[in-house]
């Protein structure tokens, strides 16, 4: 299976915040944003492995700034690291006011997707080739984040999380 560059599956998705997407404060609803983030990340994961994928987990999402009605949402999604059948996708979300010409951070998150074979069983995925400093940083941290989320999901014992433990021991 050919290893693939991060840039090969980079996805940038843009949406306009319309009235039906907002809460009573005129801000984009968190649930709608998470829906778009899931789609943006799924596209990226599926493009990396050229297979159907399912969302296995969503890490913590903190909303720093609301995105207003009439503003644009930019979601950038790229694969940070692939394991056996799973891939971690990083998302950065920004809002843009095109009338007043400024952009602002909204939130960021890590989602994990699993590639499935025709029998809906996990199948292996290509490795990731990193090319930039930022990609390398996220690649290096991915193993620790994977261990933490698997512990929280009850799929790994804390004493097996060697890299995560080392972080606290430093
Ligand atoms: C995700 C899913 C395919 C994992 O299947 P499984 O039978 O538990 O498979 P395994 O335990 O062998 O794990 C397969 C991979 O998923 C990863 N995984 C499982 N649970 C995970 C979790 N909670 N968070 C992150 N990764 C997870 C494992 O680490 C493993 O990755 P690896 O192959 O790269 O090492 C399965 O739980 C599933 O289909 N879940 C529902 C997905 C879904 O419907 N999502 C839509 C929104 S609800």
- Encode pLDDT of 69-113 as tens digits: 999 999 999 999 999 999 999 999 999 999 999 999 999 999 999
> 122 CA distance to ligand 1 centroid (A)?
8
Q: How many domains does the chain have?
A: 1
Q: Which residues of the chain have pLDDT under 70?
A: 170
Instruction: Show the domain range for 111.
Output: 4-130
> 155 CA distance to ligand 1 centroid (A)?
10
| Helix (H), strand (E) counts: the chain | 3, 7
Q: Is there a domain that residue 135 lies in?
A: no
- With a Cβ cut-off of 6 Å, ligand 1 is lined by 54-57, 83-86, 112, 114, 122, 149-150, 153, 155
Check which CATH number belongs to the domain holding 58 and give it: 3.10.129.10
Q: Is there a domain that residue 123 lies in?
A: yes
The pLDDT of residue 166 is 84
Q: Is there a domain that residue 64 lies in?
A: yes
| SS3 call for 104 | strand
- Give the C-alpha separation, 167 to 160, whole Å: 14
- Give the C-alpha separation, 154 to 148, whole Å: 10
Q: Is there a domain that residue 80 lies in?
A: yes
Count CA atoms closer than 13 A to 6's CA, side-chain side: 20
Three-state secondary structure of 9-37: CCEEEEEECCHHHECCCCEECHHHHHHHH
Shortest-distance Cα residue to atom 1 of ligand 1: 56
Three-state secondary structure of 125-145: CCCEECCCHHHHHHHHHHHHH
Q: What is the pTM of this model?
A: 0.96
């Amino acid at each position: 299976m050919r290893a693939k560059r991060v840039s090969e599956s980079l996805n940038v998705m843009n949406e306009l915040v319309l009235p039906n997407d907002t809460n009573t404060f005129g801000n984009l609803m968190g649930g709608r944003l998470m829906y778009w983030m899931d789609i943006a990340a799924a596209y990226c994961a599926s493009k990396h492995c050229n297979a159907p994928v399912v969302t296995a987990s969503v890490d913590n999402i903190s909303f720093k700034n609301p995105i207003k009605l009439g503003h644009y949402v930019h979601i950038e999604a790229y694969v940070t690291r692939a394991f056996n059948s799973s891939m971690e996708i990083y998302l950065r979300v920004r809002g843009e006011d095109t009338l007043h010409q400024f952009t602002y951070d909204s939130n960021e998150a890590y989602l994990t997707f699993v590639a499935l074979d025709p029998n809906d069983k996990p199948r292996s995925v290509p490795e990731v080739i990193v090319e930039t400093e930022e990609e390398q940083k996220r690649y290096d941290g991915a193993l620790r984040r994977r261990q933490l989320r698997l512990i929280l999901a009850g799929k790994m014992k804390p004493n097996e999380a060697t890299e995560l433990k080392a972080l606290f021991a430093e």
